Amino acid sequence: MKSRILKNIEWGILICCIALLIIGCISLYSATQESDYDELKRQMMWALISIPIMIVVIFIDYNVIARFSPIFYGIFIILLIAVLFTPTINGASSWFTITESIKFQPSEFAKVFVVIMLSYIMSIIQLKNRDELNNPLKLLGVLAIVALPVLLIIKQPDYGTAIAFMISTILMLFVAGIDKKYIISTILLIVIILPLAYFFILPDHAKTRIDVFLNPNLDPRGSGYNVIQSKLAIGSGKLVGMGLLKGNQTQLGFLHPKTTDFIFSVIGEEMGFIIAGTVIILYVILITKSVYVAKTAKDDLGSYIAIGIAGIFLFHMIENIGMTMGLLPITGVPLPFVSYGGSSLVTNFICIALLLNISGRRQKTIFVD
């Protein structure tokens, strides 16, 4: 059984994530020299912890994991409520502080288990009738599963992670064959809600981020400072970069936070367009192969989990790289496998393990309805 799983696994997915991890560690080496490489050391520690977790998840049938997903879902809902009562870090109540250097972010892990839980419920609903998901009451029930953690995460506030949930859910519902009328209605609703949210719902700091995104020079020494420095860093890297440990914005402290939100700026400045472009290509391959796993999965459950994970990676890539270039608002979304962060890294390896799990148990043919 194990040999058949290993034979069918989409190894390109693992190769992409390892390559991204290596590039991330090289970037962290350059970005953390003034702190005696503390964050690099912790990132490597989390990578070593993540690998055995990934191996275990690969060999547990994802159908078994899905059956336990309601329990994990309930646990993380409790954690998402509890974390709201913790002290704020960088303006958000998103972390449980275990030690001074180790923090646990439940919203990162919740992404995985919400995707699995949602996939499990959707596959049960469609077990007898694939059109059953278009029943308004059942569709509302499915959306409620996502709405609860999203609202709790917005409360932290962590808008970037909340949007990741939404993008993942939209892709899963699309693959499940949701009626076009719901898609059109949702688009119209978003068009109506966005301006209302901007003027009446969003807090002042969120509005400021949007205003500065549209024109960073409105506050060049305040809210617009980070994106201006990021664009300067990426632009100054040119084709081959300024060299490791030689980036002006990186080494002189103009980029902040350079190990998490703006790690791509470090890559662009010190390694140049070639390596920065390689990072984007690796993500495109990773996401494309994730979609292929969804298409070739042996059942609906596997398809929904795989496309949900693809949605998470897609949003994180586009949002993080886009915000460092000034193309999207800054939301604090990390770059998978590249940005520093223990919770993020472990979560991403679990996502990779699930993709390998699903691909190892598939039939290597594309299902056609």
DSSP code of residue 283: H
Query: Which tokens in the block code for residue 174?
Result: 């699309």
Give the per-residue pLDDT at 202: 76
Would residue 365 count as lying in a domain? no
Would residue 367 count as lying in a domain? no
DSSP code of residue 43: H
Place of tokens 């596959």: 123
Are the C-beta atoms of 287 and 352 separated by less than 8 Å? no
Would residue 90 count as lying in a domain? yes
Give the per-residue pLDDT at 368: 41
Please give the average per-residue pLDDT across 4-19, as a whole number. 91
Would residue 260 count as lying in a domain? yes
Whether residue 260 has pLDDT greater than 60:
yes
**Domain ranges, residue 335:** 2-360
pTM for the whole thing? 0.92
Would residue 268 count as lying in a domain? yes
Would residue 74 count as lying in a domain? yes
Would residue 82 count as lying in a domain? yes
The structural domain count of the chain equals 1
pLDDT tens digits, 230-241: 999 999 999 999
Whether residue 206 has pLDDT greater than 80:
no
Kindly indicate the confidence band of residue 366, based on its pLDDT and cuts at 50, 70 and 90: very low
Residue 183: HSE in the Cβ half-sphere, 13 Å Cα cutoff: 13
DSSP code of residue 92: B
Whether residue 365 has pLDDT greater than 50:
no
Would residue 160 count as lying in a domain? yes
Give the per-residue pLDDT at 364: 53
- Report the b/e string of 98-133 with b at 16+ CB within 10 A: eeeeebbbbbbbbbbbbbbbbbbbbbebbeeeeeeb
